Structure 1
Amino acid sequence: MFDTEAKIDWDKFAGARGALGSDFVRILGYFREDGEKSIAALEVAMRSGSAVAMILPAHTLKGEARQFGADGVGDLAEFIEGHARDCVERHDQPDQALAAVVKLRPIFHATMDAFGRETNPLVERRVGGFGRKVETANQGFGRL
């Protein structure tokens, strides 16, 4: 039903990076912290069968994920939120959200790992197109 890999919209990620400027890494760190808290709250709510307790953390995670282009995380959070809202209206248990809640943490971590690789200043970057020399960020002290 859901992908098991991180799905990232790199254009949105770059847009957020450009819009936030020097605050980007700090705010991305807040997303990591808030995401972990939201996922933990969703897992607790799922274990207790509380659809009401699932709505706010899923909604928060969905919005934050979408801002950074973390579409896989956003898709799962959106499904969980929608299902939880439906369950509240029907006075039902959120059992069908179990698969999404279980997949959320590993996809979140895979997404954050990809974001970390993209924002790490020491990671090798490719310059140019196919067949061109690869330049690295760390070519040695004093080299041009």
Structure 2
Amino acid sequence: MSFEGNTLVDWTAFSKARAELGAGFVRILGYFREDGVKSVAAIEAAMRGGNAAALVIPAHTLKGEARQFGAEPLAALAEHIETIGRDCVEKQDTPDQALEHVVKLRPCFEATLSLLERESNPLKERRPVAGGFGRRAPGGFGRAG
């Protein structure tokens, strides 16, 4: 399963969160990583055990944290799992219909987290701007036209 970077993260929402969180952004992203790893593992364990109630809280947590960073596809997937879990608890049923969504969850989480961490890395490779400091603009400074 592959995911497209430009569809996994709403970069406008990501930038807004980064600006609002300021210096705490990297720390909060670290919490998202830690909580997300735990939530995905808990959801998978709940699914293996057929425990609908155990799906709800980790899916809810993952949903909220993903939305904070603009990771809407991950949030939507977690929300779907949460809804199925809640419905199954209400009906006293097993969460079998959540299986296809739970299978997609880990790869979606990992791909999303990779994008978020890459974008927030202060050492991220940036494309040089032509004519920027230390670079010659094509046909630029000191050359006749």
TM-score, with length taken from structure 2: 0.83
For residues 123 and 91 of structure 2, the distance between their equivalents in structure 1, rounded to whole angstroms, comes to: 52
Corresponding residue for 1:133? 130
Corresponding residue for 1:53? 54
Deviations 1:88-143 (A, max 9, x none): 1111110111111111111111111111211112222247xxxx62869xx9xxxx
Q: Percent identity?
A: 59
Deviations 1:5-64 (A, max 9, x none): 251111111111000000000110000000000011001100000000100000011011
Structure 1 stretch displaced more, 4-13 or 76-85: 4-13
- 1:75-94 aligned at under 5 Å gives the runs 75-94=76-95
Corresponding residue for 1:30? 31
Describe the shift of the 1:93–1:126 C-alpha distance in structure 2 as closer, same or farther (beyond 3 A).
Answer: same
- Paired residues of 1:65 and 1:73 also in contact (CA < 8 A): yes
Gaps of 5+ in 1: 140-144
Name the Cα RMSD after superposition: 2.1
For residues 76 and 131 of structure 2, the distance between their equivalents in structure 1, rounded to whole angstroms, comes to: 35
Deviations 1:66-96 (A, max 9, x none): 0111112101100000011111111111011
For residues 43 and 102 of structure 2, the distance between their equivalents in structure 1, rounded to whole angstroms, comes to: 7
> Which protein is bigger by CA-based radius of gyration?
2
Corresponding residue for 1:142? none
- Paired residues in the alignment total 131
TM-score, with length taken from structure 1: 0.84
Corresponding residue for 1:12? 13
User: What SS does the aligned partner of 2:79 have?
Assistant: helix
